[in-house]
Amino acid sequence: MSKPRVIVVGGGVIGICCAYYLSKRNATVVVLERDAFGKGASYGNAGVIAAGHPPMNKPDRVKYALTKVFDSTTPLYIAPRFDPALAAWLWRFSANCTAQKLETNMSALAPLGHTTLELFAQLITEEELDCGYQASGYYEVYRTEQGAAHARQDVTLMCANGFGAAMLTGEEVGARLASLKNSVTGGVYFPDAATCDPYRFVMEVAERVRRAGGRLEVGQAVTEVEGGAHPAVRVATGERLEADAVVLATGAYSLQLARQLGCRLPIQPGKGYHRDLDFGKDNAPPLEATCVLGETSVFCTPMSGRLRLAGTMEFSGLNHRMRPSRLAQLTTAADQYLSGIGASRITSEWCGLRPCTPDGLPVVGRLPGQTKVFAATGHAMTGLTLGPVTGSLVADLVTGATPANDDTALAPARF
Ligand SMILES: Cc1cc2nc3c(=O)[nH]c(=O)nc-3n(C[C@H](O)[C@H](O)[C@H](O)COP(=O)(O)OP(=O)(O)OC[C@H]3O[C@@H](n4cnc5c(N)ncnc54)[C@H](O)[C@@H]3O)c2cc1C
């Protein structure tokens, strides 16, 4: 049988992982990226492979946050404006913040999390990826009783789904992370998690796709997609490219192309920010391991000699406008929990758009009514984490293999 020719649209972590596993399954792969590989949301994220971590749709926490969304100093912020699509999305999102939904989401996500950890370990070892990968877990630390209560809920959920999570007293967590301030009253250690430099990860995997004979093309904005038995895409230059299958992995920008095939994907761009801090030549970041600062949801990741502060969720439309106050919030949060933050220099400020679905699950599978056009998007806060398992799942579906993981809950047709 001849090799299937597959076009992957979008060269973020999801598109590149799809291309990698497709090339492993003997497909001829072309990745079309309109900008540069790995420079979308995948570029500047917190770099945490947080398998098994509960999704955003939590009954109490998010419902509480939704009452404060117009306050730009809270982790979740909505820029006030007239936007019926966002209003409808928020309504659906809120309706999905129930204990029952959280449980069903965890049942769908947990097996994916276990598989993705195995795939990461395999990728790193077999492909010798140079991306700062460290399988040493991460910590959540908190300062308040409310923070402790949220952490306990996450621990219960994660343990029930087979992931390690251990509560620590303030003293215990302080003994492990010397830079924590005394205001930290306790924490959790998640031993199964890993960290890496997310951009280096994408570029390393892209290089393996190239070595396997895949074509990676930049400056190729796809403007049209055709479905049916002979799918094709048209790029901005007007050129039409045919394939045996097309995978749309365009992150927060997935609506337009899917809509051309009659599929309305309810994806909203959830803007997040990073600020990288440098502590001077010869000085390592003053933090021994990655931490999320519980009450603020800001991640602090030691990465390639600097400290990356990353977080906040802002719904302000499909744009990359940065609000200085949101960036400042990252430093303010870090300063509340960690010593030595003031002695740093800012080396990078960035924002990226997480592709967020209202039910908290990614969208992976055939578009409704299509046999040869697939979507792989909607990974919100877990695109790096679920990159390998998504790529492997898409490769199974495209090549007609039985999927190694149950993909029913992820189907685009659920909307
Ligand atoms: C602040 C922040 C922190 C985060 N931290 C973590 C974390 O610690 N762990 C984790 O797992 N996840 C994290 N995430 C989430 C993660 O970054 C995303 O889920 C992930 O990057 C999504 O990957 P993607 O490939 O779908 O999208 P993207 O990386 O945005 O890639 C999509 C690509 O498609 C291209 N494209 C779009 N339209 C077209 C078109 N028409 N033609 C051609 N190309 C097109 C874009 O240029 C882009 O390169 C974080 C996100 C943010 C913002």
Helix (H) or strand (E) holding 148: helix 145-160
* Spatial distance between the Cα atoms of 146 and 374, rounded to a whole number of angstroms: 41
Contact 335, 352 (CB under 8 A): no
For ligand 1, atom 1, which residue shows the shortest CA distance? 272
For ligand 1, atom 22, which residue shows the shortest CA distance? 383
pLDDT tens sequence across 367-395: 999 999 999 999 999 999 999 999 999 99
For ligand 1, atom 21, which residue shows the shortest CA distance? 42
pLDDT tens sequence across 32-83: 999 999 999 999 999 999 999 998 888 875 666 666 666 667 778 887 788 8
Find out whether the beta carbon of 12 lies less than 6 Å from any atom of ligand 1.
yes
Find out whether the beta carbon of 303 lies less than 6 Å from any atom of ligand 1.
no
206 CA → ligand 1 middle, Å: 15
Find out whether the beta carbon of 385 lies less than 6 Å from any atom of ligand 1.
yes
Indicate which atom in ligand 1 lies nearest the CA of residue 16. Answer: 25
Q: Which residue segments constitute the domains of the chain, with CATH numbers given?
A: 5-42+200-265+360-414 (3.50.50.60), 58-95+138-191+268-356 (3.30.9.10)
pTM over 0.85? The answer is yes
Q: What is the pLDDT of residue 65?
A: 63
Mean pLDDT calculated for residue range 319-325: 95
Mean pLDDT calculated for residue range 198-208: 98
Number of Cβ within a 10 Å radius of residue 72:
16
Mean pLDDT calculated for residue range 250-260: 96
> Does pLDDT of 219 surpass 90?
yes
| DSSP string computed for 180-232 | B-TT--EEEEETT-EE--HHHHHHHHHHHHHHTT-EEESS--EEEEE-SSS-E
Find out whether the beta carbon of 308 lies less than 6 Å from any atom of ligand 1.
no
SS3 132: coil
Q: Tokens in use for 170?
A: 């303030």
251 CA → ligand 1 middle, Å: 5
Helix (H) or strand (E) holding 352: strand 345-356
> Does pLDDT of 245 surpass 70?
yes
Find out whether the beta carbon of 379 lies less than 6 Å from any atom of ligand 1.
yes
In DSSP terms, 313 is beta-bridged to 76
Mean pLDDT of the chain: 94
* Spatial distance between the Cα atoms of 351 and 274, rounded to a whole number of angstroms: 6
Q: What is the pLDDT of residue 395?
A: 98
Number of Cβ within a 10 Å radius of residue 308:
27
Q: What is the pLDDT of residue 70?
A: 65
* Exposed e or buried b per residue across 54-67, where buried means at least 16 C-beta atoms within 10 angstroms of its C-beta: bbbbbeebbeebee
Indicate which atom in ligand 1 lies nearest the CA of residue 32. Answer: 43
Indicate which atom in ligand 1 lies nearest the CA of residue 39. Answer: 49
Find out whether the beta carbon of 222 lies less than 6 Å from any atom of ligand 1.
yes
Q: What is the pLDDT of residue 57?
A: 85
> Does pLDDT of 126 surpass 70?
yes
Find out whether the beta carbon of 294 lies less than 6 Å from any atom of ligand 1.
no
Q: What is the pLDDT of residue 63?
A: 61
* Spatial distance between the Cα atoms of 12 and 393, rounded to a whole number of angstroms: 16
> Does pLDDT of 148 surpass 90?
yes
Q: What angle do CA 273, 275, 281 make, to 5 degrees?
A: 160
Position 307 confidence tier, pLDDT thresholds 50, 70, 90: very high
Indicate which atom in ligand 1 lies nearest the CA of residue 312. Answer: 1
pLDDT tens sequence across 278-296: 998 877 788 999 999 999 9
Indicate which atom in ligand 1 lies nearest the CA of residue 350. Answer: 1
Give the dihedral sign, CA 344/348/349/353.
negative
Q: What is the DSSP letter of 17?
A: H
> Does pLDDT of 410 surpass 90?
yes
For ligand 1, atom 2, which residue shows the shortest CA distance? 45
Q: What is the pLDDT of residue 132?
A: 96
pLDDT above 90 covers a percentage of the chain that reads 88
Kindly report the backbone phi and psi dihedral angles of residue 188, in degrees, each rounded to the nearest multiple of 5, phi listed first: -135, 145
Find out whether the beta carbon of 89 lies less than 6 Å from any atom of ligand 1.
no
For ligand 1, atom 14, which residue shows the shortest CA distance? 381
> Does pLDDT of 361 surpass 70?
yes
> Does pLDDT of 362 surpass 70?
yes
267 CA → ligand 1 middle, Å: 13
pLDDT tens sequence across 165-183: 999 999 999 999 999 999 9
Q: What is the pLDDT of residue 82?
A: 85
pLDDT tens sequence across 91-116: 999 899 999 999 999 999 999 999 99
SS3 139: strand
Find out whether the beta carbon of 253 lies less than 6 Å from any atom of ligand 1.
yes
